[in-house]
Amino acid sequence: MKPNYKGIYYRKTWAFQGTKYQVVSLSEKDMWGKYYEKMNALKNGDIVMNKNTTVARWIAQWLEVDKRPTVKESTFITIKSVINNNIIPEIGRYRLQDIKRPVLQQLLNSRAGKSFSLLTKMKILICEFFDAAERDEIIPKSPARFLRIPECTQGSTRVLTDEEYNTALELCQTHRAGLWIMLMLRCGLRRGETVPLTWNDIDFKKQQLTINKSVGYVSGKPYLNDSPKTEAGNRIIKLPDDVFLMLKNAYKTKKDILIFVPERSSSMLSETQIKRLWNSFKRELDIILGATLYRNAITESKIPDLHLHCLRHTAITRLVLRGADIKDVQTFAGHADAQTTLNIYTHIDKQNSADRIYEIILNGKLKSGTHSGTNTK
């Protein structure tokens, strides 16, 4: 018996007839209760993991024994959500021995057109829990080998144009979500890093912000992580003068510990409240940029592809475009590795190359200072 790596949970691990089992609980008393309950079930033959076990029952055990002790609670919640929403409803009722590779491939194919992130997570999890079944000799061979991710959508995050960027900055001065938007657009914060910010995270003497926590969402409700998305997410950001001035003005009228709270509440913003804030800001920005209105409804948007993450992406991209050192940008953005930052740089460089080629085609000749190859046929 020992607590997990954070010292939060008590767990009891044991072997029964060659198979490893585990129970986890917040209290030692409840842990022992779960242990005796499961042992009695095992001895009575109520719980026997074999090839006739359903996929749902096997996954439930795999989650508790293999997954939960090895990942952060926030990651565990995300994993359960992916499984419960996309895998269990499709194959949970089948016996382990009935699952063949085509069944799993069809499961992935049924999600064709979904995000690359979701499909990648699904494939990884399917491989993990079937590999575990093979490892524990529940099935002779995992059916999850050679699975392929079907056609899917890549991220559509784009950079705000100069007109959109400058207009957004002006709107931030009057809109109720202005300060929140500024922290993403100017300081590159992730959405989940803005929600749990407290006034104690601001050093007004040094004009800097400390990022050391984030939130995730399950069923629209926030849960607090004791760290950002990645370890690199723990960082200090020197606040631009315009953002710092807005924070100082907001601090004069502060009523809560949190910087951003819903109206008539002191709790963290829910996912629904975040969507309302963003939609309100985006609507006003769209109208200023010239969106077509009919009876106060936008019928033709100027920014239909603009979403919240574009703000952070714009902040990072503008730094790269201005020649900032990649390692400095990596630290600023809280990227776990430089490759993520370099991918942004590569995308920008490809666009610049395309623009240069277009200029050459348009003018019919190279600009001065450039040269062309001499091998022609």
Residues of the chain with CATH 1.10.150.130: 49-155
Class of domain 162-354: mainly alpha
Query: If residue 210 lies in a helix (H) or strand (E), which one and from where to where?
Result: strand 208-211
The DSSP code sequence of 225-237 is ESS-SSGGG-EEE
Stretch 122-141: mean pLDDT: 93
Of 51-60, 312-321, 364-373, give the lowest mean pLDDT range.
364-373
Q: How many CA atoms lie within 13 A of 272 on its CB side?
A: 3
What order of strands is seen across the sheet that includes strand 2-3? 2-3, 10-16, 19-25
pLDDT tens-digit readout, 206-262: 999 999 998 888 777 888 877 666 666 789 999 999 999 999 999 999 888 999 998
pTM for the whole thing?
A: 0.65
Q: Which residue has the higher pLDDT, 109 or 366?
A: 109
Whether residue 375 is predicted with pLDDT greater than 50 in this model: the reply is no
Superfamily for the 49-155 domain = Tyrosine recombinase, N-terminal domain (1.10.150.130)
Question: Does 57 have pLDDT greater than 80?
Answer: yes
Please, are residues 194 and 183 in contact by the beta-carbon 8 Å criterion? yes
At 350 the pLDDT is 64
pLDDT at residue 225, as a whole number: 78
CATH 1.10.443.10 residue window(s) in the chain: 162-354
